[in-house]
Amino acid sequence: GALRRAALALPRPAAVRSRPGRAWRWRNLLVSFAHSVLAGLWALFSLWQSPELLSDIQDGYSVSGHLLVCFSSGYFIHDSLDIIFNHQSRSSWEYLVHHTMAISAFVSLIITGRFLVAAMLLLLVEVSNIFLTIRMLLKMSNVPSPVLYEANKYINLVMYFAFRLAPQAYLTWYFLRYVEVQGQGAFLTANLLLLDAMILMYFSRLLRSDFFPSLRKGSAGRDVDGEKFLID
């Protein structure tokens, strides 16, 4: 909430000021960016500090990892409420689905204390989200320097592979091979497989938008500003 208030006080680019529907998006992305920086670096530091956790994904535990999952759960709850209360549910419904999955999974980890290491590995995705959010902010602000966007475009692609696709693929393999498909294990495996589908869908959108623009198709369900948040 404090970050959201701080974002309101920051100056906004002319392209954002001239489009009333983009003011909420801009503020929402700034809060998302702050969470990505904090959570991504936190996850990296926690795993670097305690590398032995990686040998026990199901029952490994650290206070730092536990607090990280609590912190990110709070962000997902706040962002969901921000989307709903600002009447952006229609253009951002996929975020609400993602956040519901994350909140339910993380709460189960917080309560049981199991699979916290898996959550820490998943939260490495926030390192990738730093550059993904920068990409969206640059697009919204119509930054006049294409060099900056181009550089971030390739960094974003590398980070997507390293911190989103790779941890997700490893955890999917691990859960399907070693985790019993019952109780919490079954619930988390189902969540993981749904997240796999969402990540691949987002990846295909990213490739079409930044690397194969000729393959882009017009999208339905546009919001009041004429652009769908997630497609952007």
pTM (2 d.p.): 0.89
Q: How far is CA 127 from the centre of its chain?
A: 9
Instruction: Read off the tokens for 36.
Output: 């990505």
- Output the average pLDDT for the chain: 89
- CA 193 vs CA 14, 176, 186: distances in Å: 41, 10, 11
R_g (Cα) of the chain, nearest Å: 18
Confidence (pLDDT) at 5: 81
Confidence (pLDDT) at 214: 78
Task: Give mean pLDDT, residues 212-229.
Answer: 54
Give yes or no for residue 25 having a pLDDT over 80: yes
**Of 10 and 111, the one with more pLDDT:** 111
Report how far residue 179's alpha carbon sits from residue 164's, in angstroms, rounded to the nearest whole number.
21
CB 83 within 8 A of CB 92: yes
CB 130 within 8 A of CB 5: no
Q: Which residue from 125, 186, 136 is spatially nearest to 28, judged by alpha carbons?
A: 136
CB 101 within 8 A of CB 192: no
**Of 135 and 9, the one with more pLDDT:** 135
Which H or E element spans position 28?
helix 20-49
Report how far residue 35's alpha carbon sits from residue 216's, in angstroms, rounded to the nearest whole number.
30
Confidence (pLDDT) at 22: 84
